[in-house]
């Protein structure tokens, strides 16, 4: 992954909380909480983004402090279910997500090439580096923005 690609991913990560807020801000409560069969509601997607922010930050820390760590599999459905995001306040979730991301960005921006090349093993994707993780992290945001759009269209 080139330094330009990492920079673009970091810019996308930084911009996403505002884009997410804009995407869901005008949703009425029924649309926000509409849950298609086998899918998450829009608000559950927001909650999941909070959970995954912590997961990715933990993975980055592991790659920086250990030699080629293998990351455990995360049962995201179970985490979302236990957190009961369906019953949470959207503004609080958006603020939490924005706060976590605001803490992550300066940390990620200060990483040097030697840090970005540190390896780890994703439980599904296999070998990765901090740099490729940043790209996956940014793509994950877009996947959930798309999932929210699809859910809203079905509501």
pLDDT 10s digits, 11-26: 999 999 999 999 999 9
Predicted confidence at residue 55, as pLDDT, reads 96
Contact residues for 5 (Cβ-Cβ < 8 A; gap 6+)? 131, 135
pLDDT tens per residue, range 92-130: 999 999 999 999 999 999 999 999 999 999 999 999 999
Cα 122 to Cα 47, 113, 129, 139, distances in angstroms: 22, 20, 9, 15
Q: CA–CA separation, 148 vs 155, rounded Å?
A: 11
> Which pLDDT band, with edges at 50, 70 and 90, does 89 fall under?
very high
What is the domain extent for residue 62? 3-154
Q: Give the chain's domain count.
A: 1
Dihedral sign for Cα atoms in the order 61, 63, 64, 68: positive
* CATH for 136: 1.20.120.450
Tokens of residue 99, six digits: 């706060």
pLDDT tens per residue, range 32-70: 999 999 999 999 999 999 999 999 999 999 999 999 999
What is the reported pTM?
0.95
Predicted confidence at residue 3, as pLDDT, reads 85
pLDDT tens per residue, range 62-71: 999 999 999 9
Predicted confidence at residue 87, as pLDDT, reads 97
């Amino acid at each position: 992954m080139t330094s330009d690609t990492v920079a673009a991913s970091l810019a996308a990560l930084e911009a996403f909380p505002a884009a997410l807020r804009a995407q869901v801000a005008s949703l009425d409560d029924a649309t926000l909480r509409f849950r298609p069969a086998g899918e998450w509601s829009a608000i559950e997607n927001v909650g999941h983004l909070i959970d995954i922010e912590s997961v990715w930050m933990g993975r980055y820390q592991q790659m920086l402090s250990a030699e080629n760590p293998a990351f455990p599999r995360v049962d995201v459905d179970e985490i979302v279910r236990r957190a009961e995001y369906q019953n949470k306040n959207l503004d609080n979730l958006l603020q939490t997500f924005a706060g976590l991301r605001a803490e992550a960005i300066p940390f990620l921006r200060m990483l040097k090439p030697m840090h970005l090349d540190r390896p780890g093993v994703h439980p599904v994707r296999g070998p990765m580096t901090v740099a490729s993780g940043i790209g996956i992290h940014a793509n994950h945001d877009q996947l959930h923005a798309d999932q929210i759009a699809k859910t809203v269209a079905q509501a």
